[in-house]
Chain A
Amino acid sequence: MRGGRRRTEDALMRPARRHALPLILLALAALLGLNLLWGSTGLLWPFGTGAQAEAARAIVLELRLPRALAALAAGGLLGLAGALVQVLTRNPLADPYILGVSGGAAVGALLAILLGLPLLVQHLGAAAGAAGALLLVLLLARGEGAWTRHRLLLTGVVLAAAFGALITLLLALAPTTALRGMLFWLMGDLSAAPAPWFALTGLFLLSLALLPWARDLNILTRGETAAAALGVSVAALRRASYLGAALATALAVITAGSIGFVGLLAPHLARLSLGADHRTALPGAIAIGALLVLSADLAARTAIAPQQLPAGALLALLGAPLFLYLLQRDARR
């Protein structure tokens, strides 16, 4: 534990590798372009005139663009939420799904799928479930006492477990036809994503609201007493981080289902490549989260095209080796 803390401090002391951030953003832009041009029916060139270009344009604008933007938004939101949750819990193993919000969203969405309701109702169900879970956490975690510091997180964790049980129950009751839709939702799939504008706006606003806290988050990683002594209003920061992470998670899972591993992986990748300073690591986690989900979805659409895979299944497959490689490289330094 002490060794671990020393390592974090070493990382903090190390000059931030800020120059990597523009590179990551460049890669993100390139990948977004690739996601538009390349898909399950191969490369499409949507520019120019003629019937063929027009047909290509329709597919690029109506199918690929909304899906790519949804992937970008969901990945960014989960990267942001993951970074916040890891600071909040001071646990490098934490991921945004411990907040309980995604479990609530899953119950709402799966119930709609089970009942064969339209896609719109499925999205509304996920939103209602997430909102309900968040309200429940905030209501149950009210009040003061010895547990105040952990009450918010613990309430979320226990609720997440309860939602997990409900999800299992719904899966057990589902007819075979509905089961694939439910499993794809749980694995994370962008073929059923709603219009991405809502999630993109959310990502923009949340980044704007939370990035100014980055300096305070840096101090919080050294412990709450130290942070309070240095003039950080710890309680307000914790509440803001919790709410920000919960909202980001909710928007992400409504968009892409409970796509796993991004929220855990993106903040680590950001810290490994950019250093532990949250002023760069936080935007880095957002960009890397988006990068991960965009590449996973590209692979899901094209790997065995025209057959389709859920993006979530491929994400860990792509992300885990990358993570291990960066971890090894960091150890050798």
Chain B
Amino acid sequence: MTRMYDMGMRKTPNTVPIHADRPRSRLKALHGMVRRAVCTILLACLLAPAASRAEALCVTQADGGRLCLDRPPERILSLAPHVTEMLFAVGAQARIAGVVAYSDFPPEARALPNIGSYHALDLERVLTLRPDLVIAWAEGNAPAQLDRLRALGLPIWSTPGRRFADVPAVLRDLGRLTGNATQAETLARDFEGEVQALTEAHRTLPPLRGFYEIWPSPLVTVGPEHFISEAMTRCGIANLVDASLGDTPTWSEEAVIRARPHLIITSPPARDFERWKRWKDLPAVQGDGLIVLPPDVLMRPGPRLVEGLRALCAAADAARKTP
């Protein structure tokens, strides 16, 4: 993996790999640390100003590796709707050259050149747009697709988007990379602050049982590792799905009913959501626990995730008040 990454980098004329560190074993890591320390000291003595400038243009990949650019990116491609949202949020919208399908927020994003859908990128258009950075989502974009782009010599930043903590981290990296560090820092702090406050407020409350419905037929939900499940935990809701193969398992309706959830949550289009109402004995049906959240906010690991968390916690608070 690391080798392939290096090869891709060498093909790219305008990028310089500084280091790709992924500790293999403790011994190797130690060896690497010593060598890196020596190198860093030498480098610092020789080209102190250049080194600090280069470090500012390095970001963390989802697999822990580093990507370093030698100049700030001017023509960015966004491969996920929430990455587009992040670029707008840190004030880097002028640097966007193209976006993937469903990049619909903020509304201005709809006017940007479309480079096709998740699973079928228009490679010709990608190359025509001459990007100097492609920002992908490690959990959403197919690895084969990213390999294809890498083979074309494009620098790929595969951002993590699996936990709440990934959002401020990516925002900060993005801000630094595009020269909007101050705005990104404020955003990241606000995000962390509100998430922290909501989590604290719900930490000691008695937990409610909840189920999140992504799709009704077949019934698709979220596993415990999904960030929606993390959002539920932060609002004091225990996800019924406590173990699963994959992050979005197909679930049994019978199992949901027998677990007697207090909350059943979904977001638009909320197809056939009314069907739960026929189970009149369920706590969720008796106590207004059938929740339709605002669209997209809880489904995208972007800056609006905190809005989703706020709405989810409010729904949980309302469900707690009913006897």
Q: Mark B254-293, 1 if CB is under 8 A from A, else 0.
A: 1101100000000001011000001101000000000000
Are A308 and B219 in contact, CB atoms less than 8 angstroms apart? yes
Taken together as a complex, chains A and B put the C-alpha atoms of A308 and B244 apart, in Å, by 11
Closest Cβ neighbor of B260 among chain A residues: A55
Would A63 and B120 be within 8 Å (CB), given that A181-B215, A181-B218, A191-B218 are in contact?
A: no
Taken together as a complex, chains A and B put the C-alpha atoms of A308 and B248 apart, in Å, by 12
Closest Cβ neighbor of B101 among chain A residues: A175
B119, B219, B249, B253: residue with the most chain A Cβ atoms closer than 10 Å = B253
Are A117 and B271 in contact, CB atoms less than 8 angstroms apart? yes
Taken together as a complex, chains A and B put the C-alpha atoms of A184 and B219 apart, in Å, by 11
Taken together as a complex, chains A and B put the C-alpha atoms of A297 and B72 apart, in Å, by 56
Are B216 and A307 in contact, CB atoms less than 8 angstroms apart? no
Are B258 and A41 in contact, CB atoms less than 8 angstroms apart? yes
Would A308 and B217 be within 8 Å (CB), given that A59-B257, A176-B118 are in contact?
A: no
Closest Cβ neighbor of A113 among chain B residues: B217
Please indicate the chain A residues that have their CB under 8 angstroms from the CB of B269 in the complex: 116
Determine which of A63, A122, A178 lies in contact with B254 in the assembled complex, contact meaning CB atoms within 8 Å: A63
Please indicate the chain A residues that have their CB under 8 angstroms from the CB of B281 in the complex: 55, 58
Q: Mark A172-189, 1 if CB is under 8 A from B, else 0.
A: 100111101100100001
Q: Mark A276-297, 1 if CB is under 8 A from B, else 0.
A: 0000000000000000000000
B250, B269, B272, B278: residue with the most chain A Cβ atoms closer than 10 Å = B250
Are A301 and B218 in contact, CB atoms less than 8 angstroms apart? no
B120, B215, B216, B219: residue with the most chain A Cβ atoms closer than 10 Å = B215
What is the minimal beta-carbon distance from A106 to any residue of chain B, in angstroms? 15
Q: Mark A83-115, 1 if CB is under 8 A from B, else 0.
A: 000000000000000000000000000000000
The reply on B90 being an interface residue by CB < 8 A is: no
The reply on A143 being an interface residue by CB < 8 A is: no
Please indicate the chain A residues that have their CB under 8 angstroms from the CB of B119 in the complex: 176
Taken together as a complex, chains A and B put the C-alpha atoms of A118 and B272 apart, in Å, by 6
Are B258 and A59 in contact, CB atoms less than 8 angstroms apart? yes
The reply on A305 being an interface residue by CB < 8 A is: yes
Taken together as a complex, chains A and B put the C-alpha atoms of A188 and B102 apart, in Å, by 29
Please indicate the chain B residues that have their CB under 8 angstroms from the CB of A308 in the complex: 218-219, 250-252
Please indicate the chain A residues that have their CB under 8 angstroms from the CB of B311 in the complex: none
The reply on B121 being an interface residue by CB < 8 A is: no
Taken together as a complex, chains A and B put the C-alpha atoms of A116 and B273 apart, in Å, by 12
What is the minimal beta-carbon distance from B209 to any residue of chain A, in angstroms? 14
Please indicate the chain A residues that have their CB under 8 angstroms from the CB of B118 in the complex: 176
Taken together as a complex, chains A and B put the C-alpha atoms of A118 and B216 apart, in Å, by 10
What is the minimal beta-carbon distance from A7 to any residue of chain B, in angstroms? 42
Taken together as a complex, chains A and B put the C-alpha atoms of A58 and B281 apart, in Å, by 10
Are A307 and B244 in contact, CB atoms less than 8 angstroms apart? yes
The reply on B208 being an interface residue by CB < 8 A is: no
Are B257 and A40 in contact, CB atoms less than 8 angstroms apart? no
Closest Cβ neighbor of A184 among chain B residues: B218
Please indicate the chain B residues that have their CB under 8 angstroms from the CB of A41 in the complex: 252, 254-255, 258
Taken together as a complex, chains A and B put the C-alpha atoms of A119 and B244 apart, in Å, by 26
Taken together as a complex, chains A and B put the C-alpha atoms of A306 and B117 apart, in Å, by 32
Are B102 and A307 in contact, CB atoms less than 8 angstroms apart? no
Taken together as a complex, chains A and B put the C-alpha atoms of A191 and B215 apart, in Å, by 12
Please indicate the chain B residues that have their CB under 8 angstroms from the CB of A189 in the complex: 218
The reply on A299 being an interface residue by CB < 8 A is: no
Please indicate the chain B residues that have their CB under 8 angstroms from the CB of A301 in the complex: 252
Are B102 and A181 in contact, CB atoms less than 8 angstroms apart? no
The reply on A154 being an interface residue by CB < 8 A is: no
Please indicate the chain A residues that have their CB under 8 angstroms from the CB of B251 in the complex: 306-308
Taken together as a complex, chains A and B put the C-alpha atoms of A304 and B223 apart, in Å, by 14
Taken together as a complex, chains A and B put the C-alpha atoms of A174 and B292 apart, in Å, by 23
Would A177 and B252 be within 8 Å (CB), given that A118-B271, A118-B272 are in contact?
A: no
Closest Cβ neighbor of A59 among chain B residues: B254
Please indicate the chain B residues that have their CB under 8 angstroms from the CB of A76 in the complex: none
The reply on B214 being an interface residue by CB < 8 A is: yes
Are A191 and B220 in contact, CB atoms less than 8 angstroms apart? no
Are A119 and B255 in contact, CB atoms less than 8 angstroms apart? no
Please indicate the chain A residues that have their CB under 8 angstroms from the CB of B244 in the complex: 307
Would A177 and B215 be within 8 Å (CB), given that A39-B254, A191-B253, A305-B252 are in contact?
A: yes
Are B272 and A40 in contact, CB atoms less than 8 angstroms apart? no
Taken together as a complex, chains A and B put the C-alpha atoms of A116 and B279 apart, in Å, by 24
Are B215 and A40 in contact, CB atoms less than 8 angstroms apart? no
7 contacts between A and B (CB under 8 A): A41-B254, A41-B255, A180-B218, A181-B217, A191-B217, A306-B251, A307-B251
B-to-A contact residues, CB < 8 Å:
102, 117-120, 214-220, 244-245, 249-255, 257-258, 269, 271-272, 278-279, 281
Interface pairs A-B: 4 shortest CB-CB = A306-B255, A40-B252, A192-B217, A306-B252
